[in-house]
Structure 1
Amino acid sequence: MSTLLPSSVMQGMSPDLASFLGNMQAQFMSLQQRTNELESLAATNARLTAQLVNAEKLIADLRSQLASQGNCQITTNASTSSAPTTPKEPGTEASTWATTAAAAHNSVVVPTALSVCKTPRPPSVRQVAASARMFAIPTGLKGYQYVYIPRSRRLTHREVRNSLKTLGVDTGRILDINFPAKDVVGILVHNQYAEKFQTTLTTVAIEILDAFDPLDPKNIADPKYKSLSDSELEEVAAELHSDRCMKALKYLRPHVAVPVGHFFCDQGWISKEDIPVHSVSGPGAGIHDFQSPSRRTSPRAIYDVLQHCHSLHMLFITETWLLPPSRLPTSWSQIHLYGSPVAGNYRGSMGVSVLISPSCPYPVTQIPMSSNYALAIKIGSLRIVCLYLPPSMSTHDALAVLSSIPLTNDTIICGDFNSRLGSLTGDYVVFQCRCYNYDIKS
C-alpha cells in the first residue's frame, strides 16, 4: 500500500508532525493486513462449514441405507438395568459377593458401538502377480537353487523372513530356509527369481556364499560326532542335509513339493523313494501326506541301524524298495536284489539287500539265483539265502520258491516269509501265503 502523504509534503513539515504521521501510517498498514487475513479465514471457514454439512448428510444417508438393508446394526447408548432386589435373609444370600454376582447376572448391557461392515481389500500387486503366473506359459529358467548367505548369530525362520522382507525381498518366493552351518543361512528359491533375489541382497552389501558346500563335513558342529573318521563324517553330513531336504518337502505346498523333490533327487541329496508320490489336497491334507512312501532305507534310518551293529559283519534288509542303480548311503559294501517298479510311483516294491561291514574278515560273493525273491551269498564256507515272500503270494508259489533253492549242509535260509503260524503262536491273521511246512533235507 502506498504512503498517505507524498514524501515532498512530509519533508516540508516539522519533525514532530512528520514522525506522528509516519506512526499513524504504519498502524494503518498493519490493520489493513490483519483485515485481509480475517477475510481470507472467514472465506475458508464458510467453505469448510459447507463441506461438513455435506459430509454429515452423506453419512446420514449411508447409515439409513445400511440400516434398511440389514447389513449392520446401529445402536444407541443405554444404561444398564437390573431387576429390583428384595431384602435377603441373613446367611449366604446376604453376603456382599452374592449381591454383586446377582447384579451382574441380572444386568443387561446394550452395545454402544456402531458395527460397520468391512469392505474387502483390493488384492496386492504380489497377489495379482502370483495369480497371473498360474495361467502363464512356462518360460525362462527351470529348477531351483539354494542361495547361501552369512549370519552373525542364531536366528529363527521368522526372523530371517521378516528381515528379508524389510530388505525388499518378496518372501512369497522363498520356498525354504535352513541353517546348514552355525554361521550360514540357506534359502531355497526358483531359478527365475534367484538373480533378482541375489541382486537385492548384494545391493545392501550382503555377501553371497557361492563356494559353500552343504555336504562339507566341516559344517558339522555337534560334538558327539568328533570321534568319527573323515569318511563317517561325510556320511553324517550327507545324512543331515538329506534330513533338511525332507523337512523342507513336508512344509511345501503340494504342487511345489513334487518338482522340488525331483530337484533334490537330481542333486543326489535324497533318493527317488523320498520324492512325494503325488499331490494331495483337501481338508484332510497335512504335512504327513507328503512323506516318502517308505523311510526304511532313508539315510537317517540306515545310520541309526548301523550305529548298533558295530559287532556285526553282515546285515540283511528286506523290503528295501530300491530300484537300480540306487544304493544305500553307507560305507559298508552292498549287494542288492532290486525290487520291481510300482506303476505311478517313484519307487520299487519288495527287494532284499545285504550290507557287509568293512571289518568283515571273510570274503563275500553273490551266488546267482533264478528267483526274484531270493538273494544268495557265500561267506567263507557258508551259503546264506535271504528271502522276501510278499503276503499276496500263494502257498503253492511260496513252496516253489523254496524248492528252487539248492540245499547243502552249509546252507542257511532266512528272511521275511510272511507266513502265519496260526494257533501255534495265537496268530490268526490270514494271508494268501498261509502256514506251510517245508522239510529241509541234506
Structure 2
Amino acid sequence: MVSYRVGPYGANGQSFFGGFVDYLSYVNLKEHGINGVKIVWEECETEYNNAKGIECYERLKDKAKISAGPIHPMSTGISYALIDKTAADQIPMAMVGYGRTDAVDGSVFPYAFPLVTTYQMQASAIVKFIKEKEKGSLEGKKIVFLYHDSAYGKEPIVALQEEAKLNKFELTVIPVAHPGNEQGAQWLKIRQEKPDYVIFWGWGVMNQTAIKAAQKVGFPRDKMIGSWWAGSEEDTVPAGDAAKGYMSATWNVAGKDVPLIADIEKVVYGAGQGNLGDKSKIGTILYNRGVSAAVLSVEAVRKAQEKYGEGKAMTGEQVRWGLENLDITDARLKEIGATNLLPEIKTSCDNHEGSGKVKIQQWDGEKWVVVSDWIEGNKTLIHPLFKASAQQYAKEKGITPRDCTKEM
C-alpha cells in the first residue's frame, strides 16, 4: 500500500486507507482470508508526493511480485509515475476512481485498471445531471471548470471540451495551484464570469476553501457540483453553513446503514484490530470508499482463484486476469453486504473501467443525501477519446496492442 496519512491531504488518506485496511482485516477475521489464504499488507507513506510514491513502490515491489494484491496508489500523479514500471514488473495497479483514464483500453495498458468510473465519464455524467436540471438543454449556458492544477485536475478537460461542443455551452477552465488554500483571484473571476454552474475538481484543503469562497462571493452552492474527491465530510464539515446545498458526484453512500460497514465495526473493532484512531470516521464517505476499493481487490483475487486454484496465493499475472474479468453484480454486492458501496462492475480486455456511472449527492448541513439515480456518462462521446489517447501512447512507446478479440 503506497498510502498517505500525513501532509496536506492526510485527513482524506486517513479515512480512505482506514476503510481499506479494515476490510482486509475483516476478510481475515470473518472468512480466514480469501478462500483460506490470509491477506498480508505493508504500508509506505508517500505524503501524496510523486517521488516518494516511486520510492515506496521500489521498496515494496519485490514482495508484491511474490503475491500481488493489486497496488492502490490513491494518487493520479503517482499512478502516472508508476504505469510503465508496474507493466514492466507485471504487477497490477488499481486506480479506483482516479489515475490515467486512457488505461480503460486494456489492449495498451494490460496492468492498469481505472476501475468503477473514470474522471472523463464522471465529468460527462455531471454535465448530463446539469442538463436534466436545465430541462434538457445547455445551449447558451456558462459553466466554469475550477480544478486542482495537477494531473488529477487536468484529466477531465478534454471530455468537458467535447461536451461543450456537443451541448453548445460556454466552458471556462480555471486552475488552482496546489494545495489550494489560495483561491481569491479564481473566485473573483467566477464572480465576473457569472456562470450558471461551477464543476469543481478539488482535493484536500482546496475543497473547504472553495465552498467558503463561493459563499463569500455569493455563488449558490446548489449550482456547484464537485468530483467524488470533493464530496466528503472532510470537505463539508469544516466549511460549516457555507456547505449547505453543495453537491458532488459519488459512487458510494455514507453511513453505517450499509450492512458491511456495520459488520466491520462489530467484527474488526470488536476484536481490537481497527485501523482508525478516530472511530467517528467509520461510515464517512471516504471510509466507505476505502472499503469499496478493498472489496474490488479481494473480489479480483477471488476471481483469479476461480481460474488458477482456490486456496492458493495468486501471482501478479493471475490477479491481473482477475481484475480484467470482474463481474460484480448487484446480487454479489448484496451477498457481501456492500449494496450502495459500488455500482455493478464488469470488466474486459477492452474495458478496464467496468461501470462509467455515478450518483449525485447533496450536503443538507449535517449529512450527504443522494439526489439522483445512477447516471452514466456519454460513452459514445467519451470512450473514443480514451481509445485515441491510448493508441497514441502505444505509438509513442512502441507498444503492440493486444488483440482483445482473442482475450474473450
Q: Which band: TM-score by shorter chain?
A: under 0.3
Computing the radius of gyration from Cα coordinates, the structure with the larger value is 1
Normalised TM-score (structure 2): 0.21
Q: Larger relative contact order (C-alpha < 8 A, sep ≥ 6)?
A: 2
> What TM-score do the two structures reach when normalised by structure 1?
0.20
